[in-house]
Amino acid sequence: MEKRGLFVLLVAALSLQASPQRVETENITAVAPDGKAAAREVVLTGRLTTRGNSDLRQLRDLCFRMERLDMGAASCPHVPENALHSRHRLKEVVLPRDVKSIGRQAFFACDSLLTLTLPASLDTVGESAFARCGRLERLVVEGSPRMGAFAFSGCGALREVEVRSAVPPPVAPTAFEGVDRRKCRLSVPRGAERLYRTAPGWRLFYEDEKQPFRLCRPADCLVPAVEVLETDFAAVPLTVKRPWRIEAAAGLENEARQARRLLDARGTGRGAGREVRLRLRLDAALNGEEEYVLTVTQEGVDIAGATAAGVFYGLMTLDQLLRADGASLCCDALPALRIADAPRTRVRELMVDPARIFIPFEELKAFVPEMARYKLNALHLHLVDDQAWRIEIKSYPRLTELGSRRTGMDDMLMPVSGFYTQEQMRELVAFAARYHVQVIPEIEMPGHEVAAIHCYPQLTCGGREIPLRTTCGVSDELLCPGEEFVYEFLGNVFRELADVFPSPYVHLGGDEAGNPALGCWTDCEKCRQLKRRLGILTDDRSENWRLQEYLFGRVIDTLRTRHGKVPMFWYETDFKRIPEGCVTFAWRHGLTAAAIDAAVANRAKIMLCPGEHCYLDYPMRAGDMPEVNWGMPVTSLRSTYALDPSWGRDGDFERDNLFGVAGTLWSECINSPERIYYQAYPRALALAEVGWSSRNRRSWEGFLRRLRPLLLDMQRRGVAHSRAE
Ligand code: ACM
Ligand code: ZN
């Protein structure tokens, strides 16, 4: 052990000498790509750019080893929103000499920063600008900047805040929320303390904030909107800051634990007085699987569900009621009320993509409780693609040995490595089940499979050796439908997956393998033989779709007969025939109507995730992250909200064919876990309402009104999200 440590140190020391660690330049944009990738210390002296592929974007996304950033001699009056969002290695930053404003979430979760000085030139610090800088110990404020909501919230390691202004800077009451005044000293100029003691945002350094009494207004705080809400403001309300007693029926042990978790997280039990009773029960009279009825009286709360899932959703609604307007972690009282609620669609999904940029296991797990708050109930894992294979397959160890590490994703040259063991996936499945979220794995075929081909070249036509892809876009390299090893391979992969993932669904990809046309299959002798055997005589490339259909047919048959799984795939207009019992995903911009027609004609189920509404990896506004991408359009919050899950069809479509709604978070441009949340929210809240709430409960204005407290709560809890307005 010691010898190995010494060896590692030696190698580190040698590589330290060999690489240019310090870069001093006017603009980082002028530095060669490998110089940016190697830099640990960056000193900038020029006028910095802030839009598009700017100095700030390159510092954040390309200088991935950067630990020290000195802009003290540079000019940059406006450090933009998200400038150095979630740069976990950044230990020290010297702000530009002329900085006037720091944008929203500019240094969000820069959790290696130790000290920080806000120079006297600074006028404005944006909302959540330094939120979750969890190691920040010392802050010096030289001037008197205005500080936005939650600017330093979650900076729990702060031990000293030194403010040089004799007049307290105008800061939001929540600017330092979560900072422990017993551990953190506020030092202010001699004689100024009296003013600070009463100033908003600063007085919490002297005494606990006294909040006005808050009664929840249920009509203003629930997303997704509920079906029936009856409130009685004339009745005695239920005061909630008292101890709670949970009474749960047999079979609801998990829900009782969830209830305790959420009540503790809201700090309800801190007050004294008579116990509040929370009753959790099953009610056979309710028939929808996820249906629930929640009743509040002055005595307590009663939640009845058709199933444990229904009870769980009642708890998620209770949590939102307790959060109320979001002005504090928890309100003081709930009015007497009755909520009866059930979802519009069965499956409400988010898809994540650890293939392009790996999502560490604990971060992946942590994504689940946040989705569950909004009654989203499926997590779809895009586990393999051209850039990596991310799931352990015991029959084929090379998949993860050779297929899970590479350098680079487009212009970002960082090493990207990692995979999930089957043990971890079992843990994820069990964890997600506690939140009533099912985990659906996806293994792509016949395209987006370069990682597998890289590890086992006999999977592709001619057995050619293909490197892992390090850029986005579509590869022409496909699995060979004429090669028997392909079927043996997929059979073994799906057998192992079926053992790990209990979900009845498994996603087979199927996208973009014929667009551009399947050149890989035209010159292959095995493919030619297969075509002869199947009597395929055309050579206008329609034959390729028939080969794909053949390959899918064999795999689908195995999945059904051996594993009892329902196959899913991304819809392409050339799949004219959707095999019965499969679920197709409408994803291509502008082609949803064609996909729906095909689903109806084939009596198949369809998941709606049209790019123009549901691709949450796209920027939410022009200029929003990811500022540099492969040409993504904008998916605004309003366009996500505007999705009609029945796409203007009649009730039969909704009853017989509509499977659910899904939002995608492809990760080509998402280079930190915090940025997954940033892309997902608030659009996933719009999607949750699209999938859950019935048409006549929805309105854009109502959604925006109800959204506000949820976003405040996310800020308080340190969950990254894009601006709603
Ligand atoms: C996809 O976006 N390629 C399904
Ligand atoms: Zn072939």
Gap from CA of 522 to ligand 2 centroid (Å): 8
Read off the pTM.
0.96
Q: Is 150 left (phi over 0), alpha (psi -120 to 50) or beta?
A: left
What local confidence, expressed as pLDDT, does residue 52 receive?
97
Q: Which two tokens stand for residue 461?
A: 């036509």
State if residue 512 touches ligand 1 by the CB under 6 angstroms criterion: yes
- Does the structure show a pLDDT above 60 at 438? yes
Question: Best mutation site among 445, 666, 667, 668 for ligand 1, i.e. most ligand atoms within 8 A of its Cβ?
Answer: 666
Ramachandran angles phi, psi of 414, nearest 5°: -75, 155
- Ligand 1, from 469, 512, 584, 608: best to mutate by most atoms within 8 Å of Cβ? 512
Q: Which of 85, 380, 436, 448 is catalytic?
A: 448
The per-residue pLDDT of the chain, averaged, comes to 95
Q: Is the CB of 587 under 6 A from ligand 1?
A: yes
pLDDT of amino acid 484: 98
Angle at 287 (CA atoms; ends 338, 434), nearest 5 degrees: 80
Note whether 327 and 208 are within 8 A (CB): no
SS3 of 157, please?
coil
3-state secondary structure 570-626: ECCCCCCCCCCCCEEEECCCCCHHHHHHHHHHCCCEEEECCHHHHECCCCCCCCCCC
Question: What confidence score (pLDDT) does residue 538 get?
Answer: 86
What lies within 8 Å, CB to CB, of 401 at 6+ separation is 455
Model confidence at 136: pLDDT above 60:
yes
β-pair type (92-94, 68-70): parallel
Q: How confident is the model at residue 411 (pLDDT cuts 50, 70, 90)?
A: very high
Report how far residue 492's alpha carbon sits from residue 456's, in angstroms, rounded to the nearest whole number: 14
Q: Is the pLDDT of residue 1 over 60?
A: no
Report the pLDDT averaged over residues 275-302.
96
Q: Give the number of whichever ligand sits closest to the CA of residue 632.
A: 1
Cα Dmax for the chain: 93
Q: Give the distance, in angstroms, between the CA of residue 281 and the centroid of all CA atoms in the same chain.
A: 32
For the CA of 512, the closest atom of ligand 1 is 3
For ligand 1, atom 3: residue with the closest CA: 511
Confidence label for 323 from pLDDT (cuts 50, 70 and 90): very high
* CA 351 – CA 663 distance, rounded (Å): 6
CA–CA separation, 50 and 672 (whole Å): 20
**Nearest ligand to the CA atom of 444:** 1
Which of 4-13, 235-244, 338-347 comes out lowest in average pLDDT?
Answer: 4-13
CA nearest neighbour of 506 among 560, 432, 574: 560
Q: At what angle do helices 542-563 and 525-534 cross, to 10 degrees?
A: 80
Residue 4, Cβ density class (10 Å: 0-12 exposed, 13-18 middle, ≥19 buried):
exposed
User: How many Å apart are CA 156 and CA 139, to the nearest integer?
Assistant: 12
Q: pLDDT tier at 541 (50, 70, 90 boundaries)? A: confident
Interior angle at CA 315, CA 313 and CA 318, nearest 5? 115
Q: How high is the pLDDT of residue 14?
A: 45
In the numeric block, the tokens 């990760």 are attached to 667
What per-residue confidence (pLDDT) applies to 183? 96
Q: How far apart are CA 123 and CA 512, in angstroms?
A: 49
Identify which ligand lies nearest to the alpha carbon of 477: 2
Q: What is the tens place of the pLDDT at every residue in 592-617?
A: 999 999 999 999 999 999 999 999 99
* Distance (Å, whole) CA 645 – CA 643: 6
Residue 580: per-residue pLDDT = 85
Query: Residue 570 C-alpha to ligand 1 middle, in angstroms?
Result: 7
* Res. 9: pLDDT tops 70: no
Catalytic residue among 512, 574, 624, 654: 512
* CA 527 to ligand 2 centroid distance, Å: 4
Q: What is the pLDDT of residue 13?
A: 46
Q: Are 321 and 218 in contact (CB under 8 A)?
A: yes
Can you tell me which atom of ligand 1 is nearest the CA of 611? 2
Comparing 53-57, 183-187, 266-270, 288-292, which segment has the lowest mean pLDDT?
Answer: 266-270
Q: Are strands 583-586 and 566-570 parallel, antiparallel or unpaired?
A: parallel
Confidence of residue 540 (pLDDT cuts 50, 70, 90): confident
Cβ neighbourhood burial of 590 (10 Å; 0-12, 13-18, 19+) = exposed
Instruction: State mean pLDDT over 376-394.
Output: 98
Query: Does any ligand 1 atom lie closer than 6 A to the CB of residue 618?
Result: no
Q: Residue 360: what pLDDT? A: 98
Whether the CB-CB separation of 219 and 702 falls below 8 Å is answered with: no
Residue closest by Cα to atom 1 of ligand 1: 511
Looking at ligand 1, which atom is closest to the CA of residue 666? 2
pLDDT at 516: 60
Handedness of CA 104, 110, 111, 116 (dihedral sign): negative
Any catalytic annotation for residue 253? Answer: no
Q: Which ligand is nearest to the CA of 526?
A: 2
- Stated as kind and residue range, the H or E segment containing 195 is helix 193-198
Q: Is the CB of 569 under 6 A from ligand 1?
A: no
pLDDT tens column, 198-237: 999 999 999 987 889 999 999 999 999 999 999 999 999 9
Task: Supply the pLDDT for residue 539.
Answer: 83
Do 374 and 224 touch, CB atoms closer than 8 A?
Answer: yes
Indicate if 589 belongs to the active site: no
- Res. 340 pLDDT band, cuts 50 70 90: very high
Tokens of 345: 């669609």
Q: Ligand 1: does its nearest atom lie under 6 Å from the Cβ of 570?
A: yes
Indicate if the pLDDT at residue 12 is higher than 80: no
Residue 490 CA to ligand 1 centre (angstroms): 21
Does ligand 1 have an atom closer than 6 angstroms to the CB of 511?
A: yes
Local confidence band at 544 (pLDDT 50, 70, 90 cut-offs): confident
- At residue 517, the pLDDT reads 67
DSSP states of 416-456: EE--B-HHHHHHHHHHHHTTT-EEEEEEEESSS-HHHHHH-
Helix (H) or strand (E) holding 264: helix 253-265
222 within 8 A of 313, measured Cβ to Cβ: no
